[in-house]
Structure 1
Amino acid sequence: MPTPPPIPTGLRGACPRCGEGHLFQGFLALRPRCEACNLDYSSFDSADGPAFFVMSIVGLIVVGTALWLEVTYEPPMWVHALVAGTLSIGLSLMLVRPLKGLLIALQYKNKAEQGRFEP
């Protein structure tokens, strides 16, 4: 059976080997293993990768929106705070799970492991 493509598989939160099992148990916690193909998920670790990409993407969008809002409408500060807070929290929650799944699927596809010093 061929390995499914990592990008759509990871974004869906599916197993990186079979594409059918679920990767997550809860919002961000990984399951112990795939219920379809029995792949052990314990070796996968996305570390801070998803948080870095979420902060970068959300930061660009929020700052761009704040600049556009200021130049176009010149709203009071409470409007900026409301828009920036809502966008920051909403986009972060929307992006963190798919990006974590994507990084884990890419880690599986590329056989990425923790770096080790050669003896």
Structure 2
Amino acid sequence: MTAGTVTEPAPAEAALKGVCPRCGGGKMFSGWIRFADTCGKCGFDFTRFNVGDGPVVFLTLGIGTIITILAVTVELAFEPGLLIHVLLWGPLTAVMVLFALRFAKGLLLALEYRNDAREGRVGP
């Protein structure tokens, strides 16, 4: 890479590191899951992307499936009481969703940037 050349990171790399999908240098997030308004390095505007609730829905469904399979397996193998299930699976689900949410939001924003996604429009 020569001086002045910017290499865009892969979407998964940008999401894992939380960096700008255009320059790979600035931060994508201003908080744990809150996007920054702009990249501090290249000035790229993150507000033009609408990630919405998509990552939350997919994480809830995916992680919910995993937790359900684990809970049924534990129930059939050990037959713990209801309190054990509540204390184990509720917090585990919340922690898994919170930790995966940052990556999922970052990945969706990076993919929207990479694919030049736009809002759907009707008509010319």
Q: TM-score range by the shorter chain?
A: over 0.9
Report matched runs for 1:39-118 at 5 Å. Answer: 39-118=44-123
Cα shift at 1:66:
0.3
Helix, strand or coil at the partner of 2:47: coil
The structure 1 residue matched to 2:20, chosen from 6, 15, 33, is 15
Please give the alpha-carbon distance, in whole angstroms, between the structure 1 residues aligned to 2:20 and 2:46: 9
Do the aligned partners of 1:12 and 1:101 also contact (CA within 8 Å) in 2? no
Same amino acid, percent of matched pairs: 37
Ranges of 4+ aligned residues in structure 1 off by more than 2 Å:
none
Cα shift at 1:86:
1.6
Please give the alpha-carbon distance, in whole angstroms, between the structure 1 residues aligned to 2:91 and 2:68: 13
Q: Which range moves more in the overlay, 96-105 or 25-34?
A: 25-34
Encode CA deviations 1:62-113: one digit per residue, 9 max, x unaligned: 1011011001101001011111112111101111111000000000000001
- Between the two structures, name the one with larger relative contact order (CA 8 Å, sep ≥ 6): 1
The structure 2 residue matched to 1:28, chosen from 19, 28, 33, is 33
Q: CA RMSD in A?
A: 1.1
1:4 match: 9
What is the count of residue pairs matched by the alignment? Answer: 119
Unaligned runs of 5+ in 2: 1-5
Cα shift at 1:24:
0.6
Give TM-score, length-normalised by structure 1. 0.94
Give TM-score, length-normalised by structure 2. 0.90
**Amino acid paired to 1:60:** T
**Amino acid paired to 1:33:** T
Please give the alpha-carbon distance, in whole angstroms, between the structure 2 residues aligned to 1:99 and 1:12: 12
